[in-house]
Structure 1
Amino acid sequence: MLGDRNTHSNHAQGSAIFNDLPTNDAWDLEQLLPEDQVMLDDMPTWKKYARIILPHVGLIILSLVYIIGGAFVFYHLEHPNEMYIRGANLRLIDENRRKMLRNLWLLVNNNTLTREQVEMTVIEHVDNTSRLLFDAFDTHFIAASHLRNPSNLIDHSWTMTTAIFYTTTLLTTIGYGNLVPVTFKGRMFCIFYALLGVPLILITVADIGKFLSENIVWLYGLYANMQKSSKTAPESVDGGEDRNENKEAIIGLDVSIPTSLIAIILLGYMAIGAVLLGTWENWDFFQGFYFSFITMTTVGFGDIVPVKQQFFIFDLFYIIIGLAITTMCIDLVGIQYIQKIHYFGRAIKDARYALVNVGGRMVRVPDLTRVAYMLQQKYGQRKRGSDTLWDGAYAPKDLNRIRYIDYSGFPSIESLTSFVSSILSGKSKDPVKV
């Protein structure tokens, strides 16, 4: 009898809890949100947008400050060393040049030497000069302009512009390798600077990519809804209520972007960059496209790099947006197929696209699980003290394992064919009502 009373008491408590739930619309998520989030509706519009936009803008500003600050440090660590090494090697080249001219003059005025001896001496001087020049061009920050005019103060490897270009390519993990720190302090600073900066820049690029992907999904969703609305417009007026319900169900569905559209966006951006870079770097179209592809994939071989410093800011802008577009493509297409591969052969067939009739309204399975999770968090069972009494509704602990329920013992040939065809076509299946 005591157990029966406890059971009736629990049922009464559960009924009282669910009687407190709003009855006008059981799927109104705003009723499940905390009060501070519901109060957002009472905020002015500019405050709502400010709360949404300011964190993203702040992240971008923080990244810019970090890049420019690091460029300033690298410039002051590496530029003096560049000037010292260049000056020392220019003096060494000049001394070797004077020594060669002096010895050649002595050879010309010495009639006792044979022709073979003169040639061997001249070849030795030429080899020494060539070695010095190759070493200077390779590691000592010397270009042909410095040999013609040793007092040249323009053509420097480390400037604020090149330092910004270096820090950006460093933090985006591209790393062309055409400009690197060579001092001990510069390399030590590079380690700690990249340790914090790489995650920051990758998060910023991913945030921009997420913004682009959401807008692409929104625009494509508008296009898809317009296409479906135009197809259902000629129907008779008798089924108006059914059309409204179908429209709500269609809007609630996940928008699947075709793979072909994403490929067009990515390749089109690379093609535009190939034309622009080819214009101001004197590259042909293939060189520009090759550079864009190597950059967007963060491979960064460094065999082809921009050299016009006056266009470095435009190059960096193009690189950052390109990395964000690449992230967008991964977000829209890559993750979708990774999930399909991960759950292939062990998940419920087409559960993601299924619609469940709940109270006369068609609800997607992912939406159903999300609402159930929110209900569980707010009204679910909780322990009271150290006893075993529970409040609220019961939810199995292994409910999250539903995604692993096999549709059959092994993936069928039909499911394998549909999976491969969905990857090749880039189109999602139509929802299946259950």
Structure 2
Amino acid sequence: MTVSMEETSRIQMLSATSKDKKTDRSLVEKYHLGPLALHTGLVLSCVTYALGGAYLFLSIERPEELKRREQALADFGQLKDQFLGNLSSLTPEKLLDTYTKQLMYLLEDAHNAHTFEHFYTQKDEPKDMWTFSSALVFTTTTVIPVGYGYVFPVSAYGRMALVAYALLGIPLTLVTMADTGKFAAQLVTRWFGENMAIPAVIFVCLLFAYPLIVGYILCSTSNITFLDSVYFSLTSIFTIGFGDLTPDMNVIHMVVFLAVGVILVTITLDIVAAEMIDRVHYMGRHVGKAKQLAGKMFQLAQSLNMKQGLVSGVGQLHALARFGMLVNVGAKEGVEEQEPTDDGIIAFSPDVMDGLDFVDTLSIYSRRSRHSAGNSARNLFLS
């Protein structure tokens, strides 16, 4: 049977394809490219989600900010004109008090306060609230979630979009952080082996050192003190985020700082929890062994108590038997010499001990019963 050239070439192509697939599969398994691709895909999806959210909220809230800014500028201008127009008709003290109350009422709105700060007190440095960097900080601190509150949506569409964005983004980010922390913890476990005490101590030290290092950097490059910088770092990486401090920090640096800090907290908690669980299991195993040993000791004590009680009972029976035999022998020897009294009553002479055998290896009755065949069952019972 001959094989044609076409069939031969087809077989060669199939074999080459199968070899390539085996080579690709071996490379994926050798370098663990599958799990690495999964981890990388989660991180990229989280980053893409934050960037897309920044563009979304910027497009929604930027027009609202411009509209509210125009209204704030008009309100402040009207209040200024009223103050200047009433200077001649009212006393300065009363006019100033009225003007201050109206101004404080306007400044309760965040957009009005921002407009007054950057367009009246700092005319040379006008600054917008909603920029791409502020929107990125907003989306990042929403999905991590820290929630500083530096900027926030005020329009109805922005608030509805925020609810939907957070419902999907927070679980995605938490899964990504947990997955990244788990992946790093597995690498550390492979490096140190089964001994998790050393990496636990290392990561706890890193967790304490990280806020101090970031606090020193913020203190050197920003407008807040070292204590406030450490406070800001701690409240950020533990996702508390009061938003009471606003350090001058680059948006990329802030996002990296938050991501690294939260991942560090996740890894530390994972490793420390694994070490504590291992300790608990170790103690539990030894407690189980101790229970088994205590049970065996209790059974041994019960058996010893039963044997000791049996030996004591046998000894008491043996003493009773000897006493009975002495009484019986004495009664037989003195029965002929006894004479009835005037009342016709004779002294009691027990003779019920003739048919008793006892288990006592030291007793003559036990030794005597060993020579008699078929009487082994009578060692404990009445004949």
283, 286, 294: which one aligns with 1:349: 286
Q: Which amino acid aligns with 2:258?
A: I
Matched, 1:65 2:48: yes
What is the SS of the residue equivalent to 1:93? helix
Deviation at 1:280, TM superposition (A): 2.4
Check conservation: 1:281, 1:306, Cα contact below 8 A: yes
Deviations 1:259-278 (A, max 9, x none): 43222111122221111222
Shift in CA distance, 92/255, structure 1 to aligned 2, threshold 3 Å: closer
- The aligned residue for residue 91 of structure 2 is 118
How far 1:407 sits from its partner (Å)?
4.0
What is residue 217 of structure 1 aligned with on the other side? 189
Match of 1:235 in 2: none
1:56 offset after TM fit, Å? 1.4
Q: Residues 266 and 149 (structure 1 numbering): CA distance in 2 closer, same or farther, change over 3 Å?
A: closer
In the alignment, is residue 325 of structure 1 matched against residue 264 of structure 2?
Answer: yes
Q: Is the 8 A contact 2:178 2:263 kept in 1?
A: yes
Matches within 5 A, 1:195-344: 195-219=167-191, 221=192, 253-257=194-198, 259-308=200-249, 311-338=250-277, 340=279
Q: After superposition, what is the alpha-carbon deviation per residue over 1:118-169, rounded to whole angstroms, capped at 9, x for unaligned? A: 245423443245324533557654242212577x895111111111101111
Unpaired segments ≥5 residues, structure 1 = 1-38, 108-116, 222-250, 351-404, 412-434
Query: How many aligned positions are there?
Result: 273
Of the two structures, which has the highest relative contact order with CA contacts closer than 8 Å and spacing of 6 or more?
1
- Partners in 1 of 2:122 and 2:85 — Cα distance? 22
Q: What do residues 101-126 of structure 1 show as CA deviations (whole Å, max 9, x unaligned)? A: 1221x33xxxxxxxxx5245423443
Letter in 2 for 1:326: V
How far apart in 1 are the matches of 2:79 and 2:95? 13
TM-score by length of 1: 0.56
Aligned-pair Cα RMSD in Å? 3.1
Which entry has the higher C-alpha Rg, 1 or 2?
2
> Which aligned pairs between 1:28-427 and structure 2 lie closer than 5 A?
43-44=26-27, 48-104=31-87, 106-107=88-89, 118-119=91-92, 121-136=94-109, 141-148=114-121, 154-219=126-191, 221=192, 253-257=194-198, 259-308=200-249, 311-338=250-277, 340=279, 347-349=284-286, 407-408=290-291
Cα separation, partners in 2 of 1:100 and 1:203, compared to 1, 3 Å: same
Which one has a larger percent helix, Structure 1 or Structure 2?
2
Return the alpha-carbon distance in structure 2 between the equivalents of residues 83 and 41 of structure 1: 56
C-alpha separation between the residues in 2 aligned to 1:74 and 1:202? 21
In structure 1, what is the Cα distance between the partners aligned to 2:135 and 2:252? Answer: 11
Change (3 A) 1:138 1:158: closer
Distance apart, 1:51 and its partner CA? 2.5
Tell me how far apart the structure 2 counterparts of residues 258 and 51 of structure 1 sit (CA, whole Å).
26
Give the whole-Å Cα distance in 1 for the aligned partners of 2:45 and 2:120. 41
TM-score, length of structure 2 as denominator length: 0.63
CA distance in 1, matches of 2:293, 2:153: 56
Q: 1:125 to 1:66 in 2, by over 3 A?
A: same
Hey, what's the Cα distance between the residues in 2 that align with 1:184 and 1:338? 47
Deviation at 1:181, TM superposition (A): 1.4
Give, in whole Å, the separation in 1 of the partners of 2:147 and 2:223. 22
CA drift of 1:307 comes to: 4.1
Please say if residues 54 and 138 of structure 2, whose CA atoms lie closer than 8 Å, have aligned partners that are also in contact.
Answer: yes
Which string of whole-angstrom CA distances, capped at 9 and with x for unpartnered residues, describes residues 399-421 of structure 1?
xxxxxx5742899xxxxxxxxxx
Query: Displacement, 1:52?
Result: 3.5
Relative to structure 1, the CA distance from residue 211 to residue 40 in structure 2 (aligned partners, 3 Å threshold; closer, same or farther) is farther
C-alpha distance in 2, partners of 1:148/1:162?
22
Identify if the C-alpha distance between structure 1 residues 276 and 94 changes in structure 2 by more than 3 Å, giving closer, same or farther.
same
CA distance in structure 1 between the aligned counterparts of 2:154 and 2:293, rounded to whole angstroms? 58
| Shift in CA distance, 264/119, structure 1 to aligned 2, threshold 3 Å | same
What is the Cα deviation at residue 78 of structure 1? 1.1
Superposed displacement of residue 191, structure 1: 1.0
Hey, what's the Cα distance between the residues in 2 that align with 1:46 and 1:348?
36
Q: What code does the residue aligned with 1:313 have?
A: I
For 1:81, the aligned partner's letter is: E
Taking a change above 3 Å as real, the CA distance of residues 409 and 165 of structure 1, as seen in their structure-2 partners, is farther
